[in-house]
Amino acid sequence: MKHILVVDDAATVRLYHRNILESAGYEVDEAVNGIEAMEKALQTPFDLYVVDINMPKLDGYGFLREIRSQDITQVPAIMVSTEAESNDRQRAYRSGANLYLIKPVKPEGLLTYIRLLLGVSTHIRPHLSNDKAIDR
């Protein structure tokens, strides 16, 4: 199962993303700021990060910069922001984001992007796992 880290200081947004991601069968972990995210990222091999920009202690830019300076560089990262301005997007890309999305992100859209960034072809649907069980 693909493991995704959601980094956001707002619990509501974390829950929102968790609901979307879990409904699609992903395993979700959360961090409330860049520092905590860094700690978790160093500990767990995540498959993707969904990162907010504005956070206390260490913001999303800082987190991504750290990630891209580490050995865990190749994990794709989606940065979500409420800012539509292009210099924010550039900053996000420069920090190491792979995609910059504007909040609120529509569930279907987010999942489409994630499927592409993870290189997986489809949702993990319940009936698929059933088939697997039968095969075994």
Q: Which of 13, 21, 24, 51 binds other proteins (CB under 8 A)?
A: 13
What is the C-alpha to C-alpha distance for residues 45 and 135, in angstroms, rounded to an integer?
28
3-class DSSP assignment, residue 129: helix
The site map against other proteins for 34-63 (x = CB under 8 A) is -x--xxx-xx----------x-x-------
- Contact call for residue 27 and other proteins (CB under 8 A): no
In whole angstroms, the minimum distance from the beta carbon of 96 to other proteins comes to 5
Which 65-124 residues touch other proteins, going by CB under 8 A? Answer: 65-70, 73-77, 82, 84-85, 89-90, 93-94, 96-100, 102-104, 108-109, 112-113, 115-122
d(CA 120, CA 36): 28
**9 vs 21 by CB, closer to other proteins:** 9
The residue count for binding other proteins (CB under 8 A) is 55
Helix H or strand E encompassing 2: none
Burial class (CB in 10 A: 0-12, 13-18, 19+), 110: buried
CB of 130 to other proteins, least distance (A): 20
Q: Find all residues with CB under 8 Å of 80, minimum gap 6, and list them.
A: 8, 13, 50, 51, 52, 53, 101, 102, 103, 105
Cα angle, residue 133 at apex, residues 129 and 135 outer, rounded to 5°: 115
**Interaction site with other proteins (CB under 8 A):** 9-13, 15-16, 19, 32, 35, 38-40, 42-43, 54, 56, 65-70, 73-77, 82, 84-85, 89-90, 93-94, 96-100, 102-104, 108-109, 112-113, 115-122
